[in-house]
Every structure is written in structure tokens, then in C-alpha cells.
Amino acid sequence: MIRNRLIAPFLLSSAAIIISTSACTMSNDSQVANMPGTALGIDTASMDKTVKPGDDFYLYANGSWAKTAVIPDDRSSIGGFVTARDATEARLKQLIEDIAKGDPAPDSNTGRIKTLYKTYMDSKAIDEAGMAPIKADLERFAAITDVKGLSRALGEQLRADVDPLNSTDFQTENLFGVFVTQALAGGEVMPYLMQGGLGMPEREYYLSADPKMADLRTKYHAYIAQLLTEAGVPDAEARAQRVYDLEMKIAAAHATRQQSENFQASAAEWARADFARKAPGIDWESFFAAAQMPGQQKFAAYHADAITRISGLVASQPLDAWKDWLTFHQINAHAEVLPGKLDAAHFAFFGTALQGTKQLLPREKRAISALNKHLGDALGKLYVDKYFPASAKAEIQGMVGDIKGSFAKRIEAIGWMAPSTKKEALEKVRTIEVGVGYPDKWQDYSAYELDPNNAYANVIAGEKVRYAQQLAKIGKPLDKREWWMNAQLVNAVNLPVQNALNFPAAILQRPFFDPKADAAYNYGAIGAVIGHEISHSFDNNGAAFDSTGKMRNWWTPSDLARFDKAGNALVNQYSAYEPFPGLRVNGKLTLGENIADVAGIAAALDAYHASLKGKQAPVIDGYTGDQRFFIAYAQSWAAKMRDEALRSRIATDGHSPGMYRALTVRNIDAWYRAFDVQPGDKLYLSPEKRVKIW
């Protein structure tokens, strides 16, 4: 598996679950008002007022919802992300159906959307084609006779890692992944080479002694054999054993999750000649030529030690094992566009065994996901033209400006920070590039040629187009305004090497944003999201980058020590949370997200207070402004996940589960005043133990 370490840690959420409420549809004649709304915003029906806020603020805000919410069979979780995504998908479905009724030119973006959707949805044709569409790829692997040929095949399989939301199933047919952006040391845009090659989400799934992980390994081994058998691959059991044994070795070669997210230790730059010297095993000239980088002389070796170890495996492990590995992963990564029995087997492991999901998502929803992946900007432009009015963009841009301003004031007020550190921090806030709604420039898909009768070929072609789009950036100046998310994606992201943020149009709806609601609600919900992403520029990883996106230490030693001390206190606070007996939240792994939550909610609260312009906040339905703010925040993190998914989240994800993110409020002084939280209450922290970062 390949994770984009330079984006994924800075997402609002990879799999976050938020309270389920009705979505607010935006359209050109939509509900967006010129004046701020005055509605309550918070969902009082979701609250459990029998719970004392100071004992369990999460249940106080969400307890009634938690008792009645039911996770759909085709989901591993339920909450606001699911609700907002479903609402977005309903709009996208209507757009696609309208296109399907017409007769667009095949080489137009609407024509490409129609063709990809039609071929993906035609399950009957996919079943009738059987394994014929993938035959040439499997024959290519079978024809490998030596390490040179293997290296060429591994290079041909290389794909660009450009999907930060998908944290558990990146291009698993790739031994390495490529991510293209500015060098960590600043300067030119270059390709990053990253570890990959695993079918399960992380190395710990292969190496952990936990009995549940061991059980998943047994099921994964059986799945490999089943998939190869269903695909008609002869001697499937023996080949599955070779694939499994090889992946165990690849997992042992990987950097750990925490090592991988240590940017400062991952900034190695290698010249082309360094690969043969530092990572012998692969025929690197054949590899890079096949990867369409025959003349590239500089690379970021992001997982340098892992690259060395994995390359050694290419030479030391049996050639047949590698050929079997290539065969399995090509089938596994594209099971959804191969015969239904393969698709079902893939879901049984990755959906049910790993995530606890009982039922496969409807084909049409997965078809929309395929369009988002391969024609995301083409579909995104149609989406924003119809559903995201300029007034919504203007309102959010105003909130962003307010929260940036409040964050800057918080920096200015820090008494312990040296003037030199403070100056750099303020410059970083000032120059953050914030994208709201959609990008300035849309991707060009003119090179994407689709087959009206071959879903597998269309997915492969889409992967290659995305790869070419990324390679085209190499050697050019960094585009700080480049987007890494589609406009129709319900999420948000911080981009440290660009010092930039993306807030896609699709997240700007309930339960995150409601133009009819009072400011307290919107600042507590979407405002905290905005503050969270701004704060990522100053978390334990983001703070290592300066205003230009260059990774350098701009801290004095004493300031950095003070910052690290506060971070350690937050590590200890979150490591005390125990969702299952003996399984605690990993405070170190989740530190960046937890810092962003603490600093983000504080900045959003300041911005809300400033928006009142000195006036007293209105009391609405008995709730003060600050109470509505904090309840909106806690309700935005209401979560219900299947046990399997929650265990996976804790083991692999840098985000704390939502019920604990809601408890961030215990570090904010104003929360204690708003709900009269006193010593003796379970969540009470004495003032000196409340973590204040930025």
C-alpha cells in the first residue's frame, strides 16, 4: 500500500464520521442568504441532556443520536460525512443521468463521463468479457524471465499517488508510489518515490502479534488464493503462498507509520546514480525508463531505507514469487471492473473482514467514485456550476479571512515566543494560499481516450492519464494554487509544501455549514474545520515548513522545546482514551490532528467573538452563543463505527476517533465557563493542565 505522507496527515479526516442530519442543497437559486442566518443550527434532538456536560460532553451533545443511529449494511460507519456524501452523490447522479440522455461528442468531457459511467455500470458486459480485458497484462507478467524484465514491469506499473482521501486502498499493484511536488528542501518540483507493495492497509497488519491482526492475516492469505482461483490462475494455492510470503517480507522492509510521518527524517534526495549504489537489486535504468522518467536525475527518496530494503528483495526473492505478486495485485486492484465473482471476493475481505461492512455499495455509487477518480475535475466543474453559488464562496472566504486574522492575533499574544520565531509564524499565516470551492484551473482530459465497450481498459487509461498529468509538473515552478481534491469531495486538506489549504465545495453544506444558521453554529462547525486546516500549518509536522513550503527549522531552541512540551502533554491526554479494553488511542500517531483540533477550535472561537463586533451574542432557545458554538463542534464529531472499522482506525489512522475529538473542548477555558464545568467533573482539567498550542 502507498500512502501519500505529504498530504494524508493533513486531511480534515480520512474516515471521520459526523452526526447525521439532513443536508442543505445549494443551487443557483438556493437558500444562501445575503445576511447571516439566525436559526439555532444545533440539533437539540440529538442531545442527551441527562448527561452532565462536564462528565461526557460528547454524549451530552450526541447521546440521543448515538442510541438510535443505525449503520447501513453497505457502510462501515454513519455520520455527517456519509450524509453529506450521499447528498452530493445524489446531485452527481442527476448530472450524470442528464448527460446520459444526451448525445455528447465522445472526445468531450461530457462524452468521457458518459462512456466511463456506462461501461462501469454494464456488469453484464463485464461478466461476459471474463478475464479477456486483463489477459494482456497477465501475459506481460508471465513473460518476465529475469530481474531486468521484472524491473521494467515494476516501472510500467508505477502510478501517481494523488488521492489523499483514500487511506486504505491506494494503487496496490505498485511496489512503489510516486508523488510529485516541491522538494522538501525547497526549489524545483520533483518526483518522490515512496514505499508500497502491500495489499493490507499497513505493515502492522502483517507484523503485529495482536490476535485480531493474526486472524486478518489468515483471512487475507485465504483471499489471495480465492481471488487467483476465481480468476482461473492455475496452481492458485501455491502461488497464493508465494504472494503472502513475499508481502510479509515487504512489510518487514517498510518504515513504520510513525517513522513515515516524520518529515524531517524523510527528506533524502537521491541522484539517479544513487539508486544503484544505495539500493541495489532493481535494475534502476530499466525501471525508470519504463516509468517514463528516462532522463530524470533527481528524486526525493521519501522512504529511503525502505527503498533500499525493498530493492534488495527484488533480487533476493524468487522471480516466480514476484510474477505471482504482480498477477495478484493487478487483479486485486481492478476487481470492480472484472467479473462479479472477483468483485464479490474483494469486498468480502476488504469490506467485511477489514471494515465490518455487511453489504457492497450499490454499483451506481461506485461508478460515481470511479468518475471522481478518473474524471474528477470534469465532473467537479459541472457540480459547482449548478450547486455552488458565488455567494456561498464569498461567505466562506470571509470566514477564512476572519479565522486567519484571529490565528495571527493569537500568535502575536504569545508571551514566551522569541521575536524571530513569531515573525516567521506570522509570515506563514499571512501567505497561506486558501482555495475555496474549486480550483482556478481545471484538469485537461483531452489525452484520455476511452473504449465504449471495455470498463477495465478505461480504468487503466484513467490511471495512466493521472500519472502523465503528475509527471508533467516535474521541473516546473511550484503552483501554490494547485488543488489536490475534487470540488465534489466532502473533506478539506492542508498542503504543507505549498503552504496552502483546499476547502472543496461539497463540504460547504450541512452538517458543516448552514447559511440559515446563527454564526455560533457555523463558526463551531465549518469554522473549526477552517481553523483545523490553518492550524495544520503549525502542528508537529507542519511547523517544520516555512511560508514558502520549504522544510527548515525557523524556531529558536527554547521555543521548540516549549512547543514540544505542549505536544507531549497532548500525547498523554489522548493516550488515556481507551475505546476497547487494552486498546488505547495512539497519542503520538494522532498528535498532528489533535494539535490542529486544539488550535483550530480556539482560533474559530476567537473569530466568532470578533464577528459579534462587541455586541452580546443572542440567546436562542435558551442556549448562549458559546454554548451553541461548542455543541456545534461536538455534534460535528458524532461518530458511529463498526468495531472492525474502529480498530482499523486506531491502528492505522492519524486521526483520533470522533468521540475523542469532540472532547478537545476540555482544553478551552471558555468551555468551562459556558457549561459551568467544575472540579470533580470527569472531564475537568485544572488550568495548568489544559493544553494551549498557538
10 Å CB burial of residue 442 (0-12, 13-18, 19+) is middle
Q: How is residue 332 written as a grid cell?
A: 486485486
CA distance 355 to 365: 18
* CB contact at 8 A, 631 and 524: yes
Q: What local confidence, expressed as pLDDT, does residue 162 receive?
A: 59
* CB contact at 8 A, 177 and 310: no
CA distance 8 to 496: 11
Nearest Cα neighbor of 202 from 656, 650, 586, 580 is 650
CA distance 85 to 31: 19
CA distance 392 to 436: 10
* CB contact at 8 A, 20 and 66: no
Q: What secondary structure letter does DSSP report for 540?
A: T
* CB contact at 8 A, 206 and 197: no
* Identity of residue 85: R
Distances (CA, A) of 160 to 163, 276, 591: 9, 22, 27
Cis peptide before 511 (omega within 30 of 0): yes
Q: How is residue 429 written as a grid cell?
A: 499565516
Tell me the three state secondary structure of residue 641: strand
What is the pairing mode between strands 640-641 and 493-495?
unpaired
* CB contact at 8 A, 528 and 601: yes
Which residue stretches of 348-445 are H helix?
Answer: 354-355, 363-374, 376-387, 390-412, 419-431
Tell me the three state secondary structure of residue 539: coil
Q: How is residue 34 written as a grid cell?
A: 445575503
Q: What local confidence, expressed as pLDDT, does residue 15 receive?
A: 31
Distances (CA, A) of 414 to 38, 409, 426, 463: 34, 9, 12, 47
Name the CATH topology of 9-22+41-94+389-442+478-689: Collagenase (Catalytic Domain) (3.40.390)
10 Å CB burial of residue 296 (0-12, 13-18, 19+) is middle
DSSP-assigned beta bridge partners for residue 298: 271
User: Would you say the C-alpha torsion 118, 121, 126, 131 has a positive or negative sign?
Assistant: positive
Interacting residues of 103 by C-beta distance below 8 A, sequence separation 6+: none
Tell me the three state secondary structure of residue 652: helix
Nearest Cα neighbor of 372 from 231, 268, 488 is 488
Q: State the chain's mean pLDDT as an integer.
A: 90
CA distance 51 to 359: 35
Distances (CA, A) of 29 to 2, 37, 84, 281, 379: 42, 17, 20, 61, 20
CA distance 324 to 330: 10
Helix 319-333 vs helix 236-253: angle between axes, to the nearest 10 degrees? Answer: 90
Tell me the three state secondary structure of residue 372: helix
Tell me the three state secondary structure of residue 83: helix
Computed over its alpha carbons, how large is the radius of gyration of the chain?
A: 25
| Helix H or strand E segment including 77 | strand 77-78
Beta strands in 590-661 (DSSP E): 640-641
CA distance 293 to 159: 12
CA distance 649 to 237: 31
Q: How is residue 386 written as a grid cell?
A: 449548478
Q: What local confidence, expressed as pLDDT, does residue 36 receive?
A: 44
10 Å CB burial of residue 390 (0-12, 13-18, 19+) is exposed
Q: What local confidence, expressed as pLDDT, does residue 173 receive?
A: 63
* CB contact at 8 A, 250 and 198: yes
Q: Would you kindly state where each structural domain of the chain is located, as residue ranges?
A: 9-22+41-94+389-442+478-689
Beta strands in 556-658 (DSSP E): 640-641
Q: What secondary structure letter does DSSP report for 478?
A: P
Q: What local confidence, expressed as pLDDT, does residue 80 receive?
A: 76
* CB contact at 8 A, 501 and 535: no
Nearest Cα neighbor of 280 from 323, 322, 316 is 316
Instruction: Flag residues of the chain having pLDDT under 70.
Output: 1-38, 162-173
CA distance 162 to 155: 18
